[in-house]
């Protein structure tokens, strides 16, 4: 097919569609429908006036401003309500309590007791604690220094006591 045949076929299709959609030349004869009489304009105007009056009655009356009972931006007792025309001066602020100094307590080192190894030397049992810390695995004996100011105080069969330079102790057990 050439472009000429495409053009002819397209034109014929458009013409057939246009003719098929055209209204019929003769309309079917039926009973004529009587047009509705328009509503009287005076009745509509009365309805609108009645609705406007009804809406005017339902309007809320304006309420005079009253001082709120509390201020959500302050933590203090409620202020007394101010009478209309009264003094709007701000009351003197309440004295603040002096700040309390909280001593800094360093958090304990991030260590866990991974295990305890025992070595029998004659009658004595020598224990080695296996500690897991952020810097790696540490194998320590009693008296060895570990992270920060801590030293190994005592190694038991299922726990280790770490003693800080100021005397506080931190107990790590295998169940942790």
Q: Residues 126, 142: contact at Cβ < 8 Å?
A: no
- For residue 147, what pLDDT is reported? 82
Would you list the domain boundaries of the chain?
112-173
110 Rama class: left (phi>0) / alpha (psi -120 to 50) / beta: beta
Rounded-to-integer distance, Cα 142 and Cα 137, Å: 16
Instruction: Specify the CATH number for 112-173; select among 2.30.30, 1.10.1200, 3.20.20, 3.10.450.
Output: 2.30.30
- For residue 137, what pLDDT is reported? 92
Q: Which residues of the chain have pLDDT under 50?
A: none
- For residue 13, what pLDDT is reported? 93
- For residue 79, what pLDDT is reported? 56
For residues 139-170, b (16+ Cβ closer than 10 Å) or e, as one string? ebeeeeebeeebbbeebeeebbbbbbeeeeee
Q: Residues 136, 125: contact at Cβ < 8 Å?
A: no
Reported pTM: 0.41
Query: What six digits make up the tokens of 59?
Result: 């309007």
Across the chain, which distance is largest between two alpha carbons, in Å?
127
Rounded-to-integer distance, Cα 131 and Cα 137, Å: 6
3-state secondary structure of 87: coil
Q: For residue 129, with 0-12 CB atoms within 10 Å meaning exposed, 13-18 middle and 19 or more buried, which class applies?
A: buried
3-state secondary structure of 173: strand
């Amino acid at each position: 097919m050439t472009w000429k045949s495409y053009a002819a076929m397209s034109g014929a299709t458009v013409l057939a569609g246009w003719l098929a959609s055209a209204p019929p030349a003769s309309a079917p004869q039926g009973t004529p429908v009587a047009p509705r009489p328009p509503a009287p304009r005076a009745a509509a105007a009365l309805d609108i006036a009645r609705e406007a009056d009804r809406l005017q009655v339902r309007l809320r009356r304006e309420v005079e401003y009253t001082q709120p009972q509390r201020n959500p931006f302050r933590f203090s007792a409620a202020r007394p309500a101010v009478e209309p025309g009264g003094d709007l001066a701000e009351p003197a602020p309440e004295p603040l309590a002096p700040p309390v100094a909280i001593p800094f307590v360093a958090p304990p080192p991030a260590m866990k007791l991974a295990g305890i190894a025992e070595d029998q030397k004659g009658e004595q049992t020598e224990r080695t604690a296996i500690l897991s810390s952020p810097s790696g695995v540490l194998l320590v004996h009693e008296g060895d220094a570990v992270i920060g100011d801590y030293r190994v105080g005592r190694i038991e069969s299922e726990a280790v006591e770490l003693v800080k330079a100021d005397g506080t102790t931190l107990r790590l057990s295998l169940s942790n």
